[in-house]
Structures are given as C-alpha cells and as structure tokens.
Structure 1
Amino acid sequence: MCTSLTYQNSRGDHFLARTMDFAFELHGQPMFMPRNWRVAGDAGEFTTTYGFVGAGRKIGHEMFVDGVNEKGLGVAALYFPENAQYVDPSQVPAGKQAIAPHDFVAWALGNAASVADLRELVTHIQLVNLPVSLLKLITPLHYIISDPTGETAVLEATSQDLKLIEDPVGVMTNSPDLGWHLQNLSTYGTLTATEQPLHDYMGYQLKTQGPGTGALGLPGDYTSPSRFIRTVFAKHFSQPAADVPSTLNLLQHLLDSVTIPKGVKLKADGSDDYTQYRGYMSLEERAYYMEPYDNFELQRVVLTTEMLEEQHTPVSYALQPSVHIQNLN
C-alpha cells in the first residue's frame, strides 16, 4: 500500500511525492530510460519518445513504478486491490494497444508530454490481465499523474473505458476509489490547525488539552482512508516552502505521518507491509530523489541534456543503503 501527494511551492515549482509500501521486497533503484528505447513489455513492445528517470528494475524488461520525464510529467503507480478491472488480452478492441498494468508507468513517461497529452493517449490503449513474473500475480493498480502546469489526475481502470479523473486535492492512497475518498473527506471537513475553545458544561469549565484541539478526530491508523485524510490535512495546513531544498524537506515531513515502520502493519499471511522507500519527483527540475528505508539522505538523479542526447541505453544507479551519522564533537 502507498501514499502519494502533489505539491506546489511558493515559487511555483511542482512536485509529486510518494511512499512505496509493500511486503514483497521490490529492490527498486533509480533508473534512467533513454529516448527511442524499445521496451519488451509483457503485452507487447512499445518505444519511448521521451527520456525519463524513476524507480525501476529490469525483470526481463525495464519496469517502473514512478518517475519523471524530460517534459516534467510525473507518474506513480499505487496498489488498488479489489477495484482494478482489466481486459483479457484476447478481448482488446481493434486499433487499441494492449499494455500490462505494471508497464503503464514506463509507457506513460516514455510517450506523454503532459497530463493533457496523456488524457488523449489513454483512449488508444487497453490495460490487460497479465501477471508480473516476479510476483506471479496480476497487480491491481491505479496511477496519479501531474505536470508543471499543476494539473493532477488519476487513472483508475474500473471499466474497459480508460479516462483520467481530475484530482482536486492532489492526494491518492489505495482502495476505495478516488471518488469515495473525496466523499469521505467531507466527514473531516471541520478539522483545523488552530486550537479550539472548550465548552463550559453546566457550569464546569473544561481545562484545555493544549494546542492541537482543532485536529481532534484526525485518524491515525495506517488504512488507506486514514492515510488519505492525514495527508490532505497536513498538505493543506503546512507552512509553504520557497525553493527546491526546503520543499523536499517539507515533503519528507508530510510523508512522515504515513510512513510505515517495519513490524507495525502485518498482513493476514504474516508478511510485513512497510515503506520500502520514498520517492520525490521535482517536475520543473526534471529530477528524481529516492529515500530508502534505512537512509534518510535523499539520493538524486537529474535528467541532463547530455544524458538525453548521448546516453542510448538504460542506466541503473546504486543506492547508498546506510544511515549516515555525523559527529559534531
């Protein structure tokens, strides 16, 4: 399970950030994909028009779960259990390209220049029932997409017709669908960051519990609906950041409240669902930052003109795994 959010700082820079919460060890790492690279996708080949960088891994072919491309488009895939509906490969309508759900991020980053561009492109594809060889299952996914205009949309394959849905709060978690989460948000619409006065009950003046009373009732568990509410609340009331470093720092703090430590969220089979990494896409900067579970230091790969024009094969970047401790005395 995962949490994602978009953010625009006071300077106008746009970001897409996410936690990658999963029990199976994915071993993802930053990977660069070049222009004009032919991807041997599980539902058929497709070729990239744009270069991009994100969290990827080669498992037979290059697969990505999030990233940003040279046009500043950011895309992230999140788990969408019991809601995603795909088409059997034999039932793909004539004239449409079949795309496996786990190949959608690479296809979108490699071919779409913006949210508006992707909105048109998805009418020409069909997500199909094909498993990921590593997991031996068909991954139920939905996707959040954003670009430097600030437009943010979600793609949820709940029927055969694919279309982007506007995401007015720029937050996405897991099931249920986005419409349900937005309706549920109204339940918490009175929460505020300011301290609220307590009533005088029958002559008895209640003693304050201190600052934070405006957020009493904010859910604190790790379910998808609760993480959605907490992220919207924290994003809305957080103090604005002014530049890229301060925004990345803010995004780290915003994701802290939904980051899952090992051992606190166990699945029915006993496996440990935890935040394997946190990814940050700086859209104007065309940069990808990765923060693995055991290292809070951001590790950055930026798309440069040299990379895009001269690098013609994919490149993977090794992560520094250990927490760095600096002695001050």
Structure 2
Amino acid sequence: MGGIVPMGWAGVSSAPMRNLFAMAVPALFAVPALACTALMITDTQGNAYSGKTMEFAARLPFEMVFVPAGTKAGSVAPPGREAVRFETRFPVLGVGVDPGLGNGTEMMVEATNDQGLSMNTNELDGSVTPSYPDGGKAGYLAATDLCLYLLGTCRTVSEVRKALESGEFRVWLPEIALMGNAKAPFHYVFFDRTGSGLVVEYLEGRQDIHDNPVGVATNAPDFGWHLKNLSNYAFLSNVDKNAGTFGGLKVEAPDSGSAMASVPSSQIAAGRFVKAAYYITHARKAGSPDEAVVTLGHILNNFDRVDGISIDRGSGAEGASRTSESSEVTQFTWMNDKARNRYYLRTINSLNFATFEIDRLTTIRRVVKVPLSSINDAALDGTRVLLDAAK
C-alpha cells in the first residue's frame, strides 16, 4: 500500500470485501463526489434526531457494520510513523465501505453509538493533512478511521472536541481510490443527544473545529462559508403572502406555498444548506419520538434524488468538472433516534426504512457486516438481519 503501515481490528477477515473493492475501483475513478445533506431536529421535549441522505454516482459496495464495545482496532500511518491502536468503549453501528488501505477496518461514512453520538462524512474538496511539529510521541490516525475511533471512545460532542484538541493523536488524510485517489476529501459532522453539533475540517494545513448552531451540513465550500451565506437569506419566512395590489388591481393567490418561493431549489451544496436550514427551522416540532422520526423522514425526502435527475456531461461540456458522464443518486437515507438508540436506514431499492435497535445488539461479540443490498423492503427488521449474520 505504498508504504502505509496497516493495523486492522483483531479477529475479523476482510478478504471478501477487499475482493469486491478490487473489482469496483477501476469503474469508480473520477466519478463525482458525494453530494450529501445532513441535518438534526429536536422534539418538544428537547430530544435530538439526526439524519442524512448519501448521494453518489456509482453503486459503492456499502455495508451495514456493527462494532461491539471492547473491539480492538488499529489505524494506518504514513511511512515511518506509528499508527494509533485503540479499543472501543461503546458499540458503533453504521454504514461503511472498505477504503482499501489494508488494515481491514471499514471507513464508517455515517454511524452512531449507544450514547446518542453520531457522525457522518460530507465531501469537502481541498482537504489536506494538517501540519504538525517535528517530534512528539503522538500516533497517527487515518481520517478514514476517525468515525470509529471517536464514536467508539466518546459520548458527547464536547468529548469529541476535547479528544481532537488533546494532541494525543495526529489525524492524517490518506488517498482513497474510491474517491479518485483524493486525500480523504471530507468534513466530519457530529451531533449528540443534547442537540449539540460540531463540524471538523482539515484545510490549509489546519484542523478547524466549528460549533454547528444551525444543525445542517452539506458539502464544499467550507462550513464557515455556508454560515455566512445564510445572511443572504435573512428575509426567509414561512408566512405566505397571498394578497397584493398592482396599480389598481387587487390580486389573491389561488393556493398557498408562496413563502417558499425564495428557498433555493438547486441541488448544489449551497442551495441544499439553505433549504435544509429553512426546513428544520420551520417544521413543526413533534410531540413524541415516533412523530419526530416521521417528521425527519419527510424533511429528508426533499433531498432524495433518482437516477438521471441531474447529469454531469463530463469533460468539455457545460460547467463540467468531471471526466465522464454521471448522475448522482441517493444511495441511502439514514436517521438516528438518539434517545431511544434506534437507527433507521432506507436503501436505494426501498420505499421504507429498516429499523436497527442498538440495545438489542449487545449480545453480539464480534464485528458484523452485511451488504446494504440485504437491507430492503423484505427485511425491515434490520436488528434481526445483523443478529442472524452474527450466528
């Protein structure tokens, strides 16, 4: 692996996934990056619920992954450096994919633990490894293992910040073949049970940690840019104006919905950020957990894409930045009920969400992976799917 030092998690064979990865990579070079929308809402009791849509042009070999508490794992390090070894304190459940670094651990692209802390990765072009002073004994943690490490050892957003600022490890960005050999082009979005949020970015040789007062994250530009851009939409309101006068003519709108006329309709990151902020600000707060999950699902439906709805023609065409024609599509949508430790997943082949109850998975003592293709409308008890796979 070009001199990368790999250390995987103990007792887990990743050979099948590596074979699938090897077959998939040639077709994935230079495909458009992820165009994801992450957001968080609260109910009338203050309970938090987070969710995200995951868009990608290619069908990646995603898996549902459960990592029990007490799992020993190792990251990968740059040549000549020491890789971080760690043991999870909390179980982690989420969607992962093998980044092809040779250590056998999945890159968790979205996940949660049983403490109500969740993390997801959103594309951020231009990400680079921070500059570190020479010397020091801190080990190196690949950004592809950041989710597993932090969810496996932290309970809250404040603990995530403390860990990242501790200097006990150094995050570095390896090249990822699935992303056209880009260096881990992501920023990392955290939410916890209290509704607190963080966004972590690696730009211009720095590690930037942002509080997330809005409860939304999309893609590039950087998170600070999106917060500033919201100032351009200070006029947005959810109150319709259905009557007016033009000269001497009085008019009335035939229906409602005019308040949303200025909400961005494009699916680029800047537009989705504003749209998501509008929805979570004005959607009626749910009075119960079940109602909140339904509300969150309806909000996320606004960001769902089907094949062909937006096509990048590739090099030489209008506004193109890619080398081949592609169409980003929603690979899956996930939601996290943080108070009840439930994880909901809807794949590209489903109309309904499968339910995973983390508290029912405590009997599993090893890492379990199942292809997302096995999670569909015929298998909506996701907990049972994982329990059966663990036998």
TM-score by length of 2: 0.75
From 24, 28, 31, give the equivalent of 2:65: 31
- Sort the Cα spacing of 1:241 and 1:142 in 2 relative to 1 into closer, same or farther, 3 A: same
Aligned to 1:121: 163
Instruction: Please tell me whether residue 56 in structure 1 is matched to residue 109 in structure 2.
Output: no
Aligned to 1:313: 366
Aligned to 2:309: 264
Deviation track 1:130-160 (CA, whole Å, cap 9, x = no partner) reads 1225445123100111111221111111244
SS in 2 for 1:279: strand
From 350, 374, 382, give the equivalent of 1:295: 350
Q: How many angstroms apart in 2 are the aligned matches of 1:87 and 1:256?
A: 36
The answer to whether the 8 A contact 2:61-2:371 is kept is no
Give the paired residue count: 320
Aligned to 2:236: 191
Instruction: Please tell me whether residue 7 in structure 1 is matched to residue 41 in structure 2.
Output: yes
Q: How many angstroms apart in 2 are the aligned matches of 1:86 and 1:257?
A: 34
| Superposed displacement of residue 110, structure 1 | 1.1
The answer to whether the 8 A contact 1:191-1:218 is kept is yes
From 145, 154, 162, give the equivalent of 1:103: 145
- Sort the Cα spacing of 1:159 and 1:96 in 2 relative to 1 into closer, same or farther, 3 A: farther
The answer to whether the 8 A contact 1:122-1:163 is kept is no
Aligned to 1:76: 120
Q: How many angstroms apart in 1 are the aligned matches of 2:179 and 2:213?
A: 33
Alignment map for 1:162-173 (pairs within 5 Å): 162-173=207-218
- Sort the Cα spacing of 1:61 and 1:92 in 2 relative to 1 into closer, same or farther, 3 A: farther
Q: How many angstroms apart in 2 are the aligned matches of 1:92 and 1:156?
A: 22
Instruction: Tell me which moved more, 61-70 or 196-205.
Output: 196-205
Q: Which ranges of structure 2 fall in alignment gaps of 5 or more residues? A: 1-34, 78-82, 315-323, 379-391
Aligned to 2:136: 94
Instruction: Please tell me whether residue 244 in structure 1 is matched to residue 321 in structure 2.
Output: no
SS in 2 for 1:61: coil
The answer to whether the 8 A contact 1:31-1:57 is kept is no
Q: How many angstroms apart in 1 are the aligned matches of 2:173 and 2:62?
A: 23
Q: After TM superposition, which residue ranges in structure 1, 4 or more long, deviate above 6 angstroms?
A: none
Q: How many angstroms apart in 1 are the aligned matches of 2:175 and 2:89?
A: 26
The answer to whether the 8 A contact 2:130-2:202 is kept is no
| Superposed displacement of residue 318, structure 1 | 5.1
Deviation track 1:82-105 (CA, whole Å, cap 9, x = no partner) reads 3x22248x9776233322222211
RMSD after superposition: 2.3
Identity %: 22
The answer to whether the 8 A contact 1:52-1:109 is kept is yes
* Aligned partner letter, 2:85: F
The answer to whether the 8 A contact 1:38-1:45 is kept is no
The answer to whether the 8 A contact 1:195-1:210 is kept is no
Q: How many angstroms apart in 2 are the aligned matches of 1:4 and 1:285?
A: 20
SS in 2 for 1:94: coil
TM-score by length of 1: 0.89
Alignment map for 1:121-200 (pairs within 5 Å): 121-123=163-165, 124=167, 125-135=169-179, 137=181, 138-200=183-245
- Sort the Cα spacing of 1:112 and 1:159 in 2 relative to 1 into closer, same or farther, 3 A: farther
SS in 1 for 2:356: strand
Q: Which ranges of structure 1 fall in alignment gaps of 5 or more residues? A: 325-329
